[in-house]
Structure 1
Amino acid sequence: MTPNAEGNPPGGREPVTEFRPAGGADGPAGASPDHELPAEELPPDLNQAILEAAKQVASILKKHGHAFALAGSVAVYAHGGTGNLQHDADFCIRPEDADAVVATLEEAGLPVFTPPEDWLVKAKCLGQDIDLIFELASRPVTTELLERATELPVDSVHMPVLAPTDLMRALLAAFSEHHCDFGAVLPIARQLRERVDWQAIRGEYGDAPMPAAFLFLLERLEVIAPRGGER
């Protein structure tokens, strides 16, 4: 899951409606069970299971014309990163679209629920966790953010994928004294380093203590050039 640095909504945004699975835990009555597969069709490992869930959710959102972008470790994979995925599939959606997206997923038979965090809603697909994020690094997901996404294939399904610079922005913005796992972000920075606008990252976060420390680490490891240098 892509973390939110503060966990607080920006000023002025109305709280998102509390969503409940329609028709019980398995979704609305009569809906096709898009979140289930027969045992013999289940993917052989967790990484593939997460990919299959991401593909299925993306297909549903595309079919109904929702604006979204794939985020998190599956987005890194789509940009050429390793297939060592994390615990879920993340999608960015705009706050104003949250109700409609939830309704679409429930109609498709996916259970959707509200966690304690107020910057996302969660769903289940093929037994995997799906995070629908409408605040990324304490900022609302915007049309501009989604428009910067690139259409890429995730296995056999094309979908909009968050731009590498935006992925790195979200990861660095989430660093704090309570959440500062450089080890988890370092391999992502290595994998995406040629695709990230590091000058823009420095301009936005380079003076904040934790992001600045991480950027210094990247310089010392020769992942990126020192400030003002070339790589």
Structure 2
Amino acid sequence: MPPSGPRPLGAGVTARAAGDHRGRNLPPDHTQAILEVTKEVAAVLKGSGCPFALVGSVAVYAYGIPVRLQHDVDFAVRREDAEEVTRLLAERGVEIVEPPEDWLVKGRRRGEDIDLIFALAGRPVTSELLDRSVTLPVDSVHMPVIEPTDLMIGRLAAFSEHHCDFGPLLPVARGLRERVDWNRVREETGDRPMAAAFLYLLELLDVIDGHGDREDGRTDG
């Protein structure tokens, strides 16, 4: 029989380190580090005079939806502003990397990755998209954040047969549902089967209206 009595302090940690499934493969939470880099980059972008908007998981965080920030911070900028923006960031100590993809520039600051994106799911970043952004505080610093409907369209348009994990997007859709024009989401993603499947899932879960016939495309909450 195993010995009775209290377990030694740290026994659980040792077990997890040895391969306990509760402690395996949990990605690190870089939330505060990523937020600090977000604020630094936003300050440079605001000073540049070039339009931009925060996108990706940090934009979701800015809307008050609890997410673990693990990977990077993403900013949408116009392609014609890329050279000026990257020059200013490099002057501030950001390491700039030219990736093989032609739709973004990558940077790195204090160990955290920065993506400057010119196209969201294959769609060019335009002045019109950036003009629709919403100014929100991100860890006490105000900056433009991609508008919720545009955020949702971009996320859905990125789904494909090779990438269709609905799990991370479901709480985002729940959290933003009253701020999203779901009719416009349907119109702009109607030719994408994975997006249609996700929207149908939201209907089954009563997150959104199942008919898409409300005047503004939104739910009652």
Could you tell me the TM-score, scaled by structure 2's length? Answer: 0.81
Q: Deviations over 1:65-104 (max 9, x none)?
A: 2211000011111112114224110000001111111101
Q: Deviations over 1:149-190 (max 9, x none)?
A: 011110121101000100001011111111111112112111
Instruction: Indicate which of 40, 44, 47 corresponds to 1:60.
Output: 44
Contact 1:182 1:214 in 2 (8 A): yes
Alignment match, 1:126? 110
Alignment match, 1:202? 186
Q: Matched residue of 1:193: which SS?
A: helix
Instruction: Indicate which of 187, 190, 210 corresponds to 2:174.
Output: 190
Q: Matched residue of 2:113: which SS?
A: strand
Contact 1:206 1:215 in 2 (8 A): no
- Per the alignment, do residues 83 and 228 of structure 1 end up closer, same or farther by CA in structure 2, a change over 3 Å counting? closer
Q: Are residues 1:156 and 2:140 paired?
A: yes
- Per the alignment, do residues 156 and 228 of structure 1 end up closer, same or farther by CA in structure 2, a change over 3 Å counting? closer
How far the C-alpha of 1:221 sits from its partner, in A, is 1.2
Alignment match, 1:165? 149
Q: Distance in 2 between matches of 1:86 and 1:171?
A: 17
Q: Matched residue of 1:92: which SS?
A: strand
Alignment match, 1:224? 208
Alignment match, 1:42? none
Instruction: Indicate which of 84, 92, 100 corresponds to 2:76.
Output: 92
Q: Distance in 1 between matches of 2:211 and 2:127?
A: 31
Alignment match, 2:94? 110
Q: Distance in 2 between matches of 1:97 and 1:131?
A: 14
Per mean C-alpha deviation after superposition, the further-off stretch among 114-123 and 79-88 is 79-88
Q: Distance in 1 between matches of 2:120 and 2:60?
A: 16
Q: Matched residue of 1:182: which SS?
A: coil
Matched length: 187
Root-mean-square deviation (CA), in Å? 1.3
Q: Distance in 2 between matches of 1:69 and 1:209?
A: 28
> Unpaired segments of 5 or more residues in structure 1?
1-44
Q: Are residues 1:71 and 2:55 paired?
A: yes
Q: Distance in 2 between matches of 1:140 and 1:195?
A: 23
> Unpaired segments of 5 or more residues in structure 2?
1-28
The structure whose Rg is larger is: 2
Contact 2:182 2:212 in 1 (8 A): no
Could you tell me the TM-score, scaled by structure 1's length? Answer: 0.77
Contact 1:110 1:123 in 2 (8 A): yes
Q: Map 1:3-22 to 2 at 5 A.
A: none
Q: Distance in 1 between matches of 2:167 and 2:32?
A: 23
Contact 1:57 1:125 in 2 (8 A): no
Amino acid at match of 1:146: L
Amino acid at match of 1:46: H
